[in-house]
Amino acid sequence: MGGKYDYASYHTSYVTCYYIGTVSGRNNVGGILGGGGAGIDSVQKCFSMGTLNSTGGGSGGIMGYTGDYFTGGIPFSNCWSHMTINGNTNCAGLVGYADRGSFTNCY
């Protein structure tokens, strides 16, 4: 469950996207993206503001869960989040659970 997108598609880049508001769900809840797997090219210049409520695991201000274990992971750049995160496990300001990936100029 994502504020903007539920599950990310293969060979997709998310550039200059944002979410402002409240998003609630059980698992893999994110301000922009709920979850995504192998093949997401990048997440760039995205931000989120508001409140995120999760009763399960994998909760993050930008993305709840990324399981891109086949490649080097998803590169996140110039992203920020100012979300209040209310969740149980694997909760974080940017990505709740990341198998792999890189973060450049994110906060």
Q: Determine how many CB atoms are found less than 10 A away from the CB of residue 107.
A: 11
Question: Could you give the percent of the chain with pLDDT greater than 90?
Answer: 60
- Give residue 69's pLDDT: 58
| Amino acid 48: pLDDT | 97
Q: pLDDT tens across 4-49, in order?
A: 888 877 788 899 999 999 999 999 999 999 987 666 888 999 999 9
Burial classification of residue 76, based on how many CB atoms lie within 10 Å of its CB (0-12 exposed, 13-18 middle, 19 or more buried): buried
**Closest listed residue to residue 61, CA positions, set 46, 42, 77:** 46
The whole-chain average pLDDT of the chain stands at 89
Higher-confidence position of 36 and 76: 76
Query: What is the C-alpha separation between 90 and 15, in angstroms, rounded?
Result: 25
Here the tokens at position 62 are 């930008």
